[in-house]
Structure 1
Amino acid sequence: MNYLKLNRFSHHLQVSFARLNVICRSLYKLCAPDELKYRKNIDQVKLSDSSILAMLIWQTEIGIESQRRFCKFFVGLSHSRFNRRARMLLPLMRCIRQAWNQEVKIAGEFLIIDSFPVPVCQPIRNYRVKIFRGIADIGYKATKKIYYYGFKVHAIVSDDGYVLWTPYRRNMKGAKKHNDHQLMPIRRTIESDFSLLSYYNAENNWARSLAGFQQRLEIAILAYNMAYCLERFN
């Protein structure tokens, strides 16, 4: 392996909201489970499920972390109702992700595995916070040299090339023998992808319930993958 040539995509969602709404409507028709599409009183909702999905993706794209603030200016629903509707779409987000996983060809490509921390509170509250008791834990964020309370998300990122383990960072035990200079572009690849996930608020998840946490993480990954697919296949 003399060199690694990687094809990169920007992963920025460069579409209008109207176009995004059309895309989400198509995804809803293709991927939504029957229990969501045919639930009771579905014909009486003010906003369709596909419009809610488009709004959630749009929120991540324009960088508004506070859902309350987003609802105040952009949504015709109360904050509490919008939250309930958003959590109801969690099975839909999973179905879309699984469908795309089947469609995107990754044969003969790198599968890069790494993780990133998702704090759920400020470090000063690590030992006093009550949310996610028994689920979240204290971890260490080596890049900023701070302890955090929250979760660690493990991700697999694909790219053209070979299948290999992720190279170690310099501050990891055993890094010297694993940090081959030929593998460092792969490290930069996944760190670039994680920075883009941060752009979609994957690391700034201030949800107060497990369902809300999962929904916000899923929507960040969905927005990221949608941008990838639109750039790669259009």
Structure 2
Amino acid sequence: MHDIKTNFDKVYQTIKSLNLSVFDSSGNLSKPGPRSEFTDLEVIALSLVAEFMSCDSENWLFNKLRSDYQQSFPNLIDRSRFNRRKRGLFLTIDLVRSKLAEQFLSFEDYYIIDSMPLEVCKLSREKRSKVCAEAFETSPEKGYCAAQKMYFYGYKLQGVCSVNGVFHSIELTKANIHDVNFLSEMNTKLSDCVLIGDKGYLSSSIQLDLFHTANIKLETPMRNNQKGFVKQKWIFRKARKRLETLFSQLCDQFMIRRNYAKTFQGFKTRILAKITALTLIQYLNKFEFNRPINNLKVAIT
């Protein structure tokens, strides 16, 4: 489980088996210009291996590769170039994640929606922090998390997953953006299904819009003081815990809240790589090892 080269080979072959049209025969993106000996496919595979092995320091990773795996990675590029290329492959990593998730989601009729806070720094450093603040449109903001009853400075990870725990859609929003704003986009991502959320997604107008435009039935618990209050069915309350558990696994094994990126592009690329690595393990668990897909702390070789 802890051998980087063995894990790398497994991840590399799994991504290659997806037969993505964006890659040429060498493993680089199909585009004009010189081809790197350390291919784009290898960059993606190495970044996913690092996330799977809970390695959140690229300095440590590259020192380890140069000291213990020099013969295994003869074409290894330097760390800063690896980081730049990984950020440039954001859309390709998302394509890999989507392709892996497609194998699970073909016949799903029930989905869960929720959000989790992602801090970029503590509130005491909010005024002087420059992390991800290179542009106003993507800069972090101060927000409130009702579930944890705390204010934080950063972003929200908005996620939609199946009842089995496979991410269908993800998006980063500023911390001060209400969850309902992400919910209003669901008619472009889903159709003909039941969408289960918490009280943060209560909106009668959006509920009607989703039903009429995409046949999405939104199931949320009612507030106690609402007229005609009816307690949400226990099966929906239980299903909501699936995404909460998934968020906990991202915080534990994938350390999604520990992020050392300085720019928004680097921040969102790291978040996406962690979720893609999680989806990759689920894929291997189901289609290669025939074990429960959410047993994430396991060997993949």
Distance between the aligned counterparts of 1:175 and 1:225, measured in 2?
A: 34
Which aligned pairs between 1:52-131 and structure 2 lie closer than 5 A? 52-74=43-65, 76-131=76-131
- Give the TM-score normalised by structure 1: 0.77
- Which amino acid is the alignment partner of residue 34 of structure 2? N
Secondary structure of the 1:147 match is strand
More helix by share: 1
Query: Where in structure 2 are there 5+ consecutive unaligned residues?
Result: 1-5, 67-75, 165-192, 201-220, 289-301
Which aligned pairs between 1:1-234 and structure 2 lie closer than 5 A? 16-27=7-18, 29-32=19-22, 36-42=29-35, 45-74=36-65, 76-133=76-133, 134=136, 135-159=139-163, 163-168=194-199, 176=224, 180-198=233-251, 199-234=253-288
Which structure carries more relative contact order (alpha carbon 8 Å, separation 6+)?
1
Evaluate the alpha carbon distance shift between residue 70 and residue 122 of structure 1 in structure 2; reply closer, same or farther with a 3 A threshold: farther
Note the C-alpha offset of 1:115: 0.6
- Which amino acid is the alignment partner of residue 83 of structure 1? N
Does the CA contact (< 8 Å) of 2:196 and 2:240 recur in 1? Answer: no
Which deviates more, 16-25 or 222-231?
A: 16-25
Percent identity at matched positions?
25
Note the C-alpha offset of 1:33: 5.8
Distance between the aligned counterparts of 1:97 and 1:31, measured in 2?
A: 15
Distance between the aligned counterparts of 1:175 and 1:73, measured in 2?
A: 53
Which deviates more, 104-113 or 114-123?
A: 104-113
Secondary structure of the 1:211 match is helix
Secondary structure of the 2:132 match is coil
Does the CA contact (< 8 Å) of 2:132 and 2:267 recur in 1? Answer: no
Distance between the aligned counterparts of 2:32 and 2:223, measured in 1?
A: 53
Distance between the aligned counterparts of 1:108 and 1:24, measured in 2?
A: 23
Distance between the aligned counterparts of 2:60 and 2:15, measured in 1?
A: 23
Match of 1:9 in 2: none
Does the CA contact (< 8 Å) of 2:108 and 2:162 recur in 1? Answer: no
Aligned pairs, how many? 213
- Give the TM-score normalised by structure 2: 0.62
Note the C-alpha offset of 1:84: 1.1
Distance between the aligned counterparts of 2:122 and 2:267, measured in 1?
A: 16
Does the CA contact (< 8 Å) of 1:121 and 1:206 recur in 2? Answer: no
Return the index of the structure with the highest Cα Rg. Answer: 2
Does the CA contact (< 8 Å) of 2:113 and 2:158 recur in 1? Answer: yes
Does the CA contact (< 8 Å) of 2:105 and 2:162 recur in 1? Answer: no
**What do residues 104-156 of structure 1 show as CA deviations (whole Å, max 9, x unaligned)?**
33534321000111111233212221233322101223454432211101100
Which deviates more, 104-113 or 32-41?
A: 32-41
Report the aligned-residue RMSD.
Answer: 2.8
**What do residues 155-196 of structure 1 show as CA deviations (whole Å, max 9, x unaligned)?**
001026x72432349xxx965566654433122211111112
Which deviates more, 64-73 or 218-227?
A: 64-73
Does the CA contact (< 8 Å) of 2:161 and 2:243 recur in 1? Answer: yes
Which deviates more, 104-113 or 117-126?
A: 104-113
Distance between the aligned counterparts of 1:195 and 1:90, measured in 2?
A: 24
Does the CA contact (< 8 Å) of 1:119 and 1:148 recur in 2? Answer: yes
Note the C-alpha offset of 1:38: 3.2
Distance between the aligned counterparts of 1:91 and 1:164, measured in 2?
A: 26
Query: Where in structure 1 are there 5+ consecutive unaligned residues?
Result: 1-14
